[in-house]
Structure 1
């Protein structure tokens, strides 16, 4: 299904049958992914799961003005999408890039009942760190524009994804195919306009009284450290570490991931 806001068309799909009396969880995928990354997980029908292709990814708009890729604009668009579906309150579940978006959206939106983060951060706290990351992201965007297959080969060899080498050949092939199916312009604009360096820091807003679950894989030491720092800022944040998983928990341990998510959701309701 599609929804157009301003000049941007977003693709979305219900992963479970929608029932108005049940809580809705909006699923936001990571960089180079699509809503399909959440489609084959063993979700129960206790909740409504709605997955959206981010701008520049999957079936959503790609070739639109770069300003539409700014995080504040994307959040406004997605809020309008939820309003058009007549869903007044919802939880946000975001992986990596989608987690950064979920945190920025959820902290500011009173309609958000809680935020579930999978391997995500509140951005970079220091101005110098953000500037350095912008330069790195810009260089990566240039690489994408020059040769997408070369970028994908580089991306899947990053240490961050090393634990995915233990996945079945079928799963690894599906992930690679999803990345290769993207448009270079869409991925590049996502880095240029809402990469980690250009995102505002949300470290000082973690004090907001909003339920947050921060999940990380046991092999992902970088994001374990980030989630612990988040908990130091706000002790109410629940931190969960998933065994035998790296950065993409829902891909590597789908059953355990869903159990953690749904147990936490039931605690909030």
Structure 2
């Protein structure tokens, strides 16, 4: 299996258009590299690719990675797109893939219902782009030579669907992780997760590679930095640090582990920061745009 990180950042990217935090200033000035919004490409052979989450930045991401360029006048090496939730930063890129080139679109019924409820997504012609409803915990072919399985992780409905009361610990079809396998290697992609459950820990026992939610380093990070009013938990994301954080909770997972879907405020993006040192000492890497990983 081969992976290509198209976008390592959370919604808004790095730098975020309206943010003047240290990371965003440093990304604008070239001190740290900019990063697009969350998306990962996977291939069983390096020729045919599946995109996991269609970022609003997908046009630029595809332009920046020759592996995804057309091979003839009207063509794409992208065989399929899979969605892990209905967040804007994971579905808006579908609108940039509306030019009548066939590919397969996979998602749970709940996520496809989000698309069906908004007529703008009808621009992605259903006669060209087949929409397949995928049941949880069932293997299916993401493309030839690449099997996938969707499973529920704690999360919430997309921000634009929130009501007055918000359950950030829902288990169902609205937020899923992905198990990927070529038969002899197994990888997991979980860009959004509110909590590590015993069931999830058990699920990850066969992992060779794990891409996991690295949105915030601390739960109250956005409040402390003056960039927001919500905690990570309120947004449906587990923090990286602390006894309830992902480093501690996933310490027993022996796979190669990489954080992805990283918010622009996260201090571990600074290469010489103490937070970065903690992450690397714990055996984690931090995904970056254009990164290639093969297992």
Does TM, normalized by the shorter one, top 0.5? no
Q: Which has the higher helix share?
A: 1
TM-score range, shorter chain: 0.3 to 0.5
Q: TM-score, normalised by structure 1?
A: 0.37
Q: TM-score, normalised by structure 2?
A: 0.35
Q: Which has the higher strand share?
A: 2
